[in-house]
Amino acid sequence: MNALTPGGKIDATRTLKSVRVAVLTISDTRDAESDTSGNILAARVTEAGHELADRAIVRDSVDEIRGKIEAWAASGFIEAIVTTGGTGITGRDVTPEAVEPLFDKKLDGFSVVFHMVSYQTVGLSTLQSRATAGIVKGVFVFCLPGSNGAVKDGWDKVISPQLDSRHGPCNMVELMPRLLEQ
C-alpha cells in the first residue's frame, strides 16, 4: 500500500492519461498574486502529469461560482474542476450552496474520505469544512476548503489518486467516457 493511495496502488506498467483540469479559487480577498491555495493546486495538477486547462478567481457569490462551473462543464473541454474556498461555515461561505444544485450526481464518499484525511492533519477542526464533490454534465467537480493545508490533503490524498488512470483497483478516469450514458 502506497502512503498516497490508501487501499490502492499505482500500476507503473500502465500509461498515465492526462486529464484536463480547471482550478477555481473562490474568494472575496484573493487575487492572482495572493492566491496561494490556487497556486498550490495548479502546480500539483501539472506535477501529476495533467493539463491545467484553465484557472480563475471568482468572488464568494452563488451566481459567479455557478456561472464559471456551468461554463467550464458546458465547454466540452474541461474534464475535472477543483475549487478552493467557500466551503466553511461563515455567512460568506456559499460554495456548496452554489455547486451542489448543479450536480447530476453527488459523490457522497468524497466528503467522508476528505474528512478522514483532514482529521489526521487538523483534528476536529475538519468539522468546519463542507467539502463536497459531484458530477456536472459529465465533469467531475471537487470543492475543497481554501487553506493551503486542506488543498494539499485534498489533492494529494484524495483527488490525485482518483484522477490517475494507473490507480487500482479502480479510478475515476476510466469512468469519464461513460459519465453521460443514458
Q: How many residues in total does the chain contain?
A: 182
Does the pLDDT at position 1 exceed 90? no
Residue 1 in any domain: the answer is no
Q: Give CA–CA dist 146/92, Å, rounded.
A: 13
The reply to whether 178 falls in a domain is no
- What percentage of the chain exceeds 70 in pLDDT? 96
**Mean pLDDT, rounded, of the chain:** 95
The answer to whether residue 3 scores a pLDDT higher than 80 is: no
Looking at residues 23-39, what average pLDDT do you find? 95
- What CATH number did the domain enclosing 158 receive? 3.40.980.10
| Total count of domains within the chain | 1
Domain membership flag for residue 141:
yes
**Per-residue pLDDT at 6:** 54
Asked if residues 121 and 153 have their Cβ atoms less than 8 Å apart, the reply is yes
Evaluate whether residue 69 is within a structural domain.
Answer: yes
The answer to whether position 111 is within a domain reads: yes
The pLDDT confidence band at residue 8, using thresholds 50, 70 and 90, is confident
pLDDT of residue 70: 98
pLDDT tens, position by position, 53-71: 999 999 999 999 999 999 9
Q: Cell numbers at residue 172, please? A: 475515476
pTM score, whole prediction? 0.95
Q: Residue 95: count other Cβ atoms within 10 Å of its Cβ.
A: 26
- The answer as to whether 139 is a domain residue is yes
Closest CA to 145 of 163, 176, 122: 122
Reported as a pLDDT band with limits 50, 70 and 90, residue 7 is low
Query: In this predicted structure, what is the pLDDT of residue 112?
Result: 97
User: Residue 29: which domain range?
Assistant: 18-172
Rg for the chain, CA atoms, rounded: 15
Residue 7 lies in a domain: no
Q: What is the pLDDT of residue 5?
A: 41
pLDDT of 79 over the 80 cut: yes
Dist CA 168 CA 27 (whole Å)? 35
Q: Please report, in angstroms and rounded to a whole number, the separation of the first and last CA atoms in the chain.
A: 36
- 81-111 pLDDT, tens digit each: 999 999 999 999 999 999 999 999 999 999 9
Residue 179 lies in a domain: no
The distance of Cα 170 from the centroid of its chain, to the nearest Å, equals 18
Question: How confident is the model over 119-177, as pLDDT tens digits?
Answer: 999 999 999 999 999 999 999 999 999 999 999 999 999 999 999 999 999 999 999 99
Q: In sequence order, what DSSP letters do the residues of the chain get, joined into one string?
A: -BTTBTT-EE-TTSPPPP-EEEEEEE-SS--TTT-HHHHHHHHHHHHTT-EEEEEEEE-S-HHHHHHHHHHHHHTSS--EEEEES--SSSTT--HHHHHGGG-SEE-HHHHHHHHHHHHHHHGGGGGG---EEEEETTEEEEEE-SSHHHHHHHIIIIIHHHT-TTEES--SGGGGGGTT--
Choose between 6 and 122: higher pLDDT.
122
